[in-house]
Structure 1
């Protein structure tokens, strides 16, 4: 005779998740830029969110940049975020560098007028091969310019200048005296944690 199968039903406690709207900081006019789910609002605090710059600005050059936000507070169904940084994805860097003969990467910390430390990672592209002394001068001039530029601006103003590309345009003009640079890009812009 065939054995009788016994179906055991197990109880699984399911907590229902809710949707929470992500709200950008004041620099981005407190725009809603997405949604996330969580069973408990306490789990949202500290969560990182990456989003394209194109969601905030409809600019030709901004589509590929990634912005990183961190949830700092939950009010009702809204998550308040703070700006953590801006990054250029690696495939985009590779595509840009293909056209150049030489690339100069740099990384340094600048301090803004309101004493916020920010790590800048500029990327300089040159069409021809140059001597090492010229490369050193370009790096030194880049650091000096960015340090002095950041001292005069608050953190929010510096974010805006980097996003619209004004700092890169002015830096390219300044470096023309040392050696004509093909392109200046900001590979990363990160707020340094205390």
Structure 2
């Protein structure tokens, strides 16, 4: 009898929930990237969804299946949960496939600010053809650091994301750093949002307040 009651409670709990459609940011085409259940829309805000670039663009060529994007819900309207960019990273399997014996792996981490005020943590990595010296590693790391900072400084958030994820910035690093030592590959392996511009935060807070007023009216 007790077991039947527990099963009934679990069933009732699920029947109270509804499914919300997760929507990618506008600069990623506002594609549907998944669904999430909740009995209250306030519980959806803050949830994250992970999708590969291949799934998002329906393009499985090149490294797209190994590029992961994480979006976070910031607003719910009706049955749609709208997301913002939270994190980008390469899969561990892909990075492991690039690591080889008797070669060097050079990594750099830098916090940058885009032209429109986003503060990001960017992690880049370079793989050499053969093992290089410590002085060459330092020189290549400096090139990586400077190119990432310069691109962030002159680009807005969306432009920087696109150029980092789609390969323009890694290609620029490759062209400059290979003059120091022959390289096999350069990648931006991770991008995280540390802080959004104050105007964006205030704009979202205002929109949320207006939606609450409309819902209560």
TM-score when normalising by structure 1: 0.90
Query: Which residue does 1:178 correspond to in 2?
Result: 180
Name which one, 1 or 2, has greater alpha-carbon Rg.
1
Number of positions where the alignment pairs a residue of Structure 1 with one of Structure 2 = 188
SS at match of 1:192: strand
Shift of 1:131: 1.4
Query: Which residue does 1:48 correspond to in 2?
Result: 48
1:134 to 130, 136, 144: 136
In structure 1, runs of 5+ residues without a counterpart are 1-6
Query: Which residue does 1:34 correspond to in 2?
Result: 34
User: Contact between 2:102 and 2:131, CA under 8 Å: does it hold in 1?
Assistant: no
CA distance in 1, matches of 2:30, 2:48: 17
User: Contact between 1:162 and 1:168, CA under 8 Å: does it hold in 2?
Assistant: yes
Output aligned runs, 1:75-94, within 5 Å.
75-94=77-96
> Could you give the per-residue CA deviations for residues 149-181 of structure 1, whole angstroms, max 9, x where no partner exists?
111100011111122111111110111222221
Query: Which residue does 2:213 correspond to in 1?
Result: none
> Could you give the per-residue CA deviations for residues 112-170 of structure 1, whole angstroms, max 9, x where no partner exists?
10111111111100111221111101111111111111111000111111221111111
SS at match of 2:149: helix
Does 2:9 match 1:12?
A: yes
Shift of 1:82: 0.5
Moved over 4 A (4+): none
User: Contact between 1:65 and 1:89, CA under 8 Å: does it hold in 2?
Assistant: yes
Shift of 1:39: 1.5
Does 2:161 match 1:159?
A: yes
CA distance in 2, matches of 1:178, 1:110: 24
Query: Which residue does 1:4 correspond to in 2?
Result: none
- 174-183 or 71-80, larger mean C-alpha shift: 174-183
Query: Which residue does 2:147 correspond to in 1?
Result: 145
Shift of 1:12: 2.7
User: Contact between 1:120 and 1:190, CA under 8 Å: does it hold in 2?
Assistant: yes
Shift of 1:52: 1.3
SS at match of 1:106: strand
Query: Which residue does 1:111 correspond to in 2?
Result: 113
CA distance in 1, matches of 2:20, 2:171: 38
The CA RMSD measured in Å over matched residues stands at 1.7
User: Contact between 1:100 and 1:125, CA under 8 Å: does it hold in 2?
Assistant: no
Shift of 1:105: 1.4
Counting helix residues as a fraction of each chain, which structure ranks higher? Answer: 2
